[in-house]
Structure 1
């Protein structure tokens, strides 16, 4: 049996394990270790497992993950997310559908400290959904706006998706973080435009809020300024070259903990819970990286990535035809796999084909993350939809999926704009790094 056939069988078994709900980290470990054992023997498989596991956990760049996760968990436990949401509502609440737009802005702001789509959706959902229900917002618009807004956590830095992509492809985490800023802001603007269009068609779906006087708006904004300052310091420090992403994550986490202590908004129990959640999340992400790094040498031995690249080149569709096929495959996989699973399983396979097609790997990282975000709100998996269902238990799943449909269209428009105008993603990293 040829190594290519072994590789194809192994990939098929990998998807079977994922379909059986085996954790993605252990699915990759089993297939990577088992495949190397079958092809090169136990000694080679054991060496890959040991060296790749050690190399993964000692990777300095991965410190970004626990630090930014801690930052987001402490900010959520201390109630700083409420301040970000209130500040957004103070300035856009008077618009039709203002609470939904404020939720989108709140998601974008909290994304800049959490790096997690699910955490963003849950945190802002708990704050915003009761308010929108009280004010008579349509269930579809309110849940759809937050489910879609939560996906910004995977795009706006510090994105966990970008960290994993950088580790898998050996690209710069800093460049990827910077590449996500303008696309993230563009998507936020398109989501807000979607809220405006939905409420223009159906005004009852999102009534206007009471306008606030400028003095009160400024007072509410002032209460959120410390958290906004942490965000600006962390992301701005990376852009200006003052901090590396790792240093920025540590400084940001330390500042949020100090803010929580000084403001007395975090009890010992809450802090302990935030730390334990950070440990659990970080352990899960580290295991995913280990699994991916054990799987990758096996895929290299089978030449599956090279074979895929050759097959795509043989189609004669050109670079953008290749890209279209990859995006279509991502959309289909997104209906069945969660975002991180899809990222770590597919990037080692499609990345060589992207390089062969002549695309910028940083730009493709943004494209891949946006397509993966789309999978977070599409049926039947739609992880963010199920997360919001857990917060809004009285809203049927069908209603939430209908509510996210207009926002999914906005994401498609955002993706097309970035494909047509790659500078949207590349202008900041190219300016920063020269």
Structure 2
């Protein structure tokens, strides 16, 4: 048993070494898992395990949700739905202090419901809303920080590829996790609005008032936004009400987004080819990540390292909330240094059994995990969304963008604390719909 535990530790270390050598995360985990299992049980069973796990992933109906939702997001972007959302949000709140920032957050939230990707949402609104905010006198760092923070909503608001990954690896229902994320997503939007209000009260010059839009223009923005409103209600509402499964909802959403792009005359052959290629490459990357995580998880389960870790923590007699807070701190630090998704999938074989042994619901932990990933996507020294916005607006200094995201990091930390103290905020809606 001790040899198996040591081998699990070496496997985890080997994974990090391979990642440091720029080996893709999924491949690094797969190599460590197959080699480790081969040393324990023989390489013939290890190769058979690799074949079966790959086959299971490629034939999984749950995982089919990912390429369909990615394709829906690509068609929605081609159809210009992000611009419609931003114009609608600007027409409603753009005249208020910080209104353009609120419009960006609202637009990112709406586009996240038809995209499911944080990076894609940040990249899209970096082109749609960032020039508008700077042109209207917003402080560039605050404007860029708003786009980066709004982009993180793309992985919390359903559909979310990261949630699909968690659900598959944790063997939970995707729809249940999506429904559980709805209230925390609404809280995120409200907290971001409060962060904008507080910041603009302290530094009003960073967010000047915009012109008030007339009633006719507001109704025009609402009418122009009907495709994205219909798409969002169909996809998210259909899953929440049990009309569609997650896979069916993704398929319906992809077809509807394709139809809207065609109806607007935006679907040219070059754009269609680009959408299909980007969907294929993104989906392949996610599939490799899931297969590698499954192989490593199988190897760690055979070593019984997770059970030993649970036993060690139990014998230490550390209060549960102290241990949970320490785990939160470690995750935030890891998310600021390593790739956030990699942190989640590598730690899951060890952390999920530990969290469940403390009596916490895996659905609740899945949402908490995504919230921590959101914080990591903004936190120095990395912060993936910060670098995405920096790439779109290279003239804005990186330290300025990090200062601009600070109000939103504080907002996210407050939300994380609220969800930790009140788990029913995550779980009551799934239980209500189940009942």
Length-normalised TM-score, structure 1: 0.98
The aligned counterpart of 2:5 is: 4
Distance 2:66 2:116 in 1: 9
**Alpha-carbon distance in 1 for matches of 2:77, 2:260:** 12
2:296 & 2:181 partners in 1: Cα distance?
27
Written as runs of structure 1 = structure 2, the 5 A alignment for 1:147-166 is 147-166=148-167
Q: Which residue of 2 aligns with 1:276?
A: 277
The 1:85–1:131 alpha-carbon spacing in structure 2 relative to 1, beyond 3 Å, is same
Q: How far is the alpha carbon of 1:214 from its aligned partner? A: 1.8
- Post-superposition offset of 1:203: 0.9
- Count of residue correspondences: 434
Q: Which residue does 1:267 correspond to in 2?
A: 268
Q: How far is 1:327 from its partner?
A: 1.2
Contact 1:175 1:429 in 2 (8 A): yes
Superposed CA deviations along residues 378-403 of structure 1, whole A, max 9, x for unmatched, are: 11121111001001110111111111
1:404 deviates by 0.7
Question: Which whole-Å CA distance do the structure 2 matches of 1:90 and 1:315 have between them?
Answer: 57
Contiguous gaps of at least 5 residues in structure 1 = none
Asked if the contact 2:81/2:227 (under 8 Å) is kept, the reply is no
Q: Please list, as runs of the form range in 1=range in 2, the aligned pairs for 1:157-176 lying within 5 A after superposition.
A: 157-176=158-177
Structure 2 matches for 1:389-408, cutoff 5 A? 389-408=390-409
Partner SS state of residue 88, structure 1: helix
Q: 1:74 Cα deviation (Å)?
A: 1.1
Which residue does the alignment assign to 1:188? 189
Q: CA-to-partner distance for each residue in 1:220-268, whole Å, 9 max, x for gaps? A: 1110111111101111011111111110010011001011111212222
Alpha carbons 1:141, 1:195 under 8 Å: kept: no
In structure 2, the residue corresponding to 1:335 is in which secondary structure? helix
Alignment of 1:79-228 (within 5 A): 79-228=80-229
Structure 1 Cα separation of the partners of residues 20 and 397 of structure 2: 25
Mapping 1:231-250, distance limit 5 Å: 231-250=232-251
How much has 1:19 moved relative to structure 2?
2.2
Q: Which residue of 1 aligns with 2:46?
A: 45
- Does 2:372 align with 1:362? no
Distance (Å, rounded) in 1 between the aligned partners of 2:169 and 2:355: 14
Q: Deviations over 1:22-66 (max 9, x none)?
A: 111111111011111122111111111011110111111111101
Q: Distance in 1 between matches of 2:352 and 2:59?
A: 24
CA contact (8 A) 1:84 1:110 kept: yes
Assess if the C-alpha contact under 8 Å between 1:7 and 1:299 holds in 2.
yes
Please tell me whether the aligned partners of residues 318 and 357 of structure 1 are also in contact (alpha carbons under 8 angstroms). Answer: no
Taking only aligned residues, the RMSD between alpha carbons, in angstroms, comes to 1.1
SS in 2 for 1:114: coil
SS at match of 2:276: helix
**C-alpha deviations, 1:289-337, integer Å up to 9, x for none?**
1111111111012222112212222222233223212212211211221
Aligned to 2:430: 429
Instruction: Give the unaligned 5+ runs of structure 2.
Output: none
Contact preservation (8 Å) 2:79, 2:257: no
1:78 aligns with: 79
Give, in angstroms, the shift of residue 166 of structure 1: 0.4
In structure 2, how many angstroms separate the alpha carbons of the residues matched to 1:339 and 1:188?
Answer: 21
Higher mean alpha-carbon deviation, 50-59 vs 213-222, is at 213-222
- Counterparts of 1:313 and 1:397, CA distance in 2: 43
1:133-167 alpha-carbon deviations (Å, 9 max, x no partner) = 11111012101111111111111111111100001
Any runs of at least 4 consecutive aligned residues in structure 1 with deviations exceeding 2 A, and if so which? none
Residues 322 and 357, structure 1, Cα contact 8 Å, conserved in 2: no
CA separation in 1, counterparts of 2:226 and 2:415?
29
Aligned-pair CA distance for 1:7:
0.8
Shift of 1:78: 2.2
Contact 1:32-1:295 at 8 Å conserved across structures: yes
Contact kept, 8 Å, 1:157 with 1:235, in 2: the verdict is yes
Once structures 1 and 2 are overlaid, which stretch shifts more, 208-217 or 250-259? Answer: 208-217
Contact 2:142 2:400 in 1 (8 A): no
TM-score, structure 2 length as denominator? 0.98
